[in-house]
Structure 1
Amino acid sequence: MPTQYCPSWNSSYCLSPQCPSNVNHPALKAIFGPLVWCEKAVQFVPPKKEEKPKAAPAPKAEKKPKKKDEDEDEDDNLVPEEPKAKNPLDSLPKSTFNLEDWKRAYSNKETRGPGGSLEWFYQNFDKEGFSVWRVDFKYNSELTQTFMSSNQIGGFFNRLEASRKYLFGSVGVLGQTNDSIISGVLILRGQDVKPVVDVAPDWESYEYKKLDLENPEDKAFFEAANAWDLEIGGKKWVDGKNFK
């Protein structure tokens, strides 16, 4: 049988029954059997991952009975804390004089003259519920620059912060560099100065003298210290600070 040329010999298939590449060729069909064409291309399917066996749940820990000491410790923690000690100044009889109103009057009015803060003070002051004190620094010989002396007053006032609702102060520096003093007045709750000022660690660096506003000299000192025109021994007021 003459060899026939197959134009599609190198192609994927040939329609000629005599072409050795044709799967329907009798010689091939006898070996491989009839050809079944696939209707859908084969798709890659990844192999399934092996499932690891789940670990058995851990047994629940048994609660150990508490020891007696542990129970006592917990009971101790439940004991309420003792309330903070009340300031004895809060236990004083109620006063008709409102210190906060005085502070506002002092800040918003002229100090001297009709309608001034001093006039308001005398109209409202309760000498049973409050007292007025002169305060003087004990170590004036150690003072140098007047601005440093003013800072000394500011530090003292800062340390009196815990007594702010019981206290008003007007304290100044009188004199000049290397020759100055610190003096002024305090208006405070009650008749004893110590419970009000001992909140400041340096309170004992000052001397305190109770003033009687019915005494002309004490009254003049009180007014001058509040008006910042106080003069002592020829030393004039050069700077001051208020605690309010």
Structure 2
Amino acid sequence: AQYSGARLKVLHVPAFQGDDGFCLFESNAIAHYLSNEALRGSSPQTQSQVLQWVSFADAEIIPPASTWVFPTLGIMQFNKQATEQAKEEVKKVLSVLNHHLNTRTFLVGERVSLADISVACSMIWLFKQVLEPSFRQPFPNVTRWFQTCVNQPQFKTVLGEVKLCDKMAQFDPKKFSDMQPKKDTPPKKDTPPKKEKAGKEAGKPQEKKDKKKKEEKEAAPAEEEMDECEAALASEPKTKDPFAHLPKSAFVMDEFKRKYSNEDTLTVAVPHFWEHFDKEGYSIWYGEYKFPEELTMTFMSCNLIMGMFQRLDKLRKNGFASVILFGGNNDSSISGIWIFRGQDLAFTLSDDWQIDYESYAWRKLDPDSDETKTMVKEYFAWEGEFKHVGKPFSQGKCFK
């Protein structure tokens, strides 16, 4: 809007409504509508090039940037393996941009276009949080282009000063903990203020009440120790626990997940998994998305996977999955390894878990077979031959 001259009143809502009642959602569609010909491109060729870079920002920059940056901001849990892979993906992105910008000032044409706006805005937090001087040193063209963009008056009006980071930000567990929603009991409704003239003695009954409340709170600290998954399950009647009919297992899912998140996958997490896996209490499944022909843009496929994970949040204590999107735009597939408590598909145990699972073909794996051990290793480590897939992993994206 700063470039095109469109008058815009921002209400901090991710949607657009024009004076004529015309409505849009999704930031790319809104940005396209608010642009002028100079930003969108004046020919079919330049318009396509602009769209190319807008799609590149969504599909190739935002996913790894979010995985790397969000933990440093305290809004997402840190995963060492995911972060290291995100760093490598960001390097590939910077290499592509650096090569393209070797003989160009801007991404498309000779002046700022919607391509520069979309790509630069998708990289703001990378430059502000983690792209320290030594990391960005091999990509001088990208840094030059980014600084040229964010120092344009139209950028500065919206973003203010954008300072490049001096030191790569790291995950802070305390900051992450502080950012999580507190599980305190809701505050009571406002009550009239106490009258001060009641004197010193009037405070004694209240002191007794406060002491009693403190004793009750100390007597039951476990409730505040629950994570979101446990609290959600605890809020339901015990009879509705989908796994109540199963005996306890010696395999501790949380212990494995800590190994997987914080230590090396191949040398620590995978050996730990097989050493402690309880094949009587848990089962291993291979799931493959049944409609690959419907998969178009990779960022939309990523949203498909993450949406399924979010709807399965209550399954976290009794399940684990590593799912990979193979291939690229308009030529991709989704598959993964899933670990469930019990010998049946866990989705059938709760109506809340059945929204997505029928879109996948499921095959139960034999935990003693070499095929299963290879698949578990490859899907857990996000590397390998993946002979059964038929699409390159080099363009893949992973979720767990």
Q: TM-score, normalised by structure 1?
A: 0.61
Q: Distance in 2 between matches of 1:175 and 1:197?
A: 32
Q: CA RMSD in A?
A: 2.0
Partner of 1:239: 397
Q: Contact 2:326–2:391 at 8 Å: present in 1 too?
A: no
* Structure 1 residue 106 corresponds to structure 2 residue 243: no
One of 195, 216, 227 as aligned partner of 2:370: 216
Q: Contact 1:174–1:180 at 8 Å: present in 2 too?
A: yes
One of 308, 311, 321 as aligned partner of 1:156: 308
Which secondary structure state, in structure 2, belongs to the residue aligned with residue 144 of structure 1? coil
Which secondary structure state, in structure 1, belongs to the residue aligned with residue 248 of structure 2? coil
**How far 1:191 sits from its partner (Å)?**
0.4
* Structure 1 residue 143 corresponds to structure 2 residue 295: yes
One of 327, 337, 348 as aligned partner of 1:195: 348
**How far 1:212 sits from its partner (Å)?**
1.2
One of 126, 130, 141 as aligned partner of 2:282: 130
Q: Contact 1:149–1:173 at 8 Å: present in 2 too?
A: yes
Q: Distance in 2 between matches of 1:120 and 1:190?
A: 20
Q: Contact 2:348–2:354 at 8 Å: present in 1 too?
A: no
Q: Distance in 2 between matches of 1:84 and 1:122?
A: 31
Q: Distance in 1 between matches of 2:350 and 2:336?
A: 14
Structure 1: gaps spanning 5 or more residues: 1-81
Judging changes above 3 Å, is the alpha-carbon distance between structure 1 residues 88 and 157 closer, same or farther for their aligned structure 2 residues? Answer: closer
Q: Deviations over 1:158-206 (max 9, x none)?
A: 1111222211111010112111000011111000014357514122111
Equivalences, count: 159
Q: Deviations over 1:51-103 (max 9, x none)?
A: xxxxxxxxxxxxxxxxxxxxxxxxxxxxxxx9563324122111100111111
Q: Distance in 2 between matches of 1:223 and 1:197?
A: 29
Query: Which amino acid counterpart does residue 393 of structure 2 have in structure 1?
Result: K
Q: Distance in 1 between matches of 2:349 and 2:399?
A: 18
Partner of 1:65: none
* Structure 1 residue 86 corresponds to structure 2 residue 240: yes
* Structure 1 residue 121 corresponds to structure 2 residue 262: no
Structure with the higher helix share, 1 or 2? 2
Q: Contact 1:118–1:223 at 8 Å: present in 2 too?
A: yes
Q: Distance in 2 between matches of 1:107 and 1:135?
A: 22
Q: Distance in 2 between matches of 1:121 and 1:197?
A: 26
Alignment of 1:32-71 (within 5 A): none
Partner of 1:97: 251
Partner of 1:56: none
**Structure of larger gyration radius:** 1
Partner of 1:43: none
Structure with the higher strand share, 1 or 2? 1
Partner of 1:181: 333
Q: Contact 1:167–1:196 at 8 Å: present in 2 too?
A: no
Instruction: Detail structure 1 runs of 4+ shifted over 4 Å in the superposition.
Output: none
* Structure 1 residue 225 corresponds to structure 2 residue 383: no
Q: Distance in 2 between matches of 1:141 and 1:87?
A: 37
Alignment of 1:26-37 (within 5 A): none
Q: Distance in 1 between matches of 2:359 and 2:256?
A: 27
Structure 2: gaps spanning 5 or more residues: 1-235
Q: Distance in 2 between matches of 1:160 and 1:205?
A: 15
Identity %, equivalent residues = 43
Query: Which amino acid counterpart does residue 236 of structure 1 have in structure 2?
Result: F
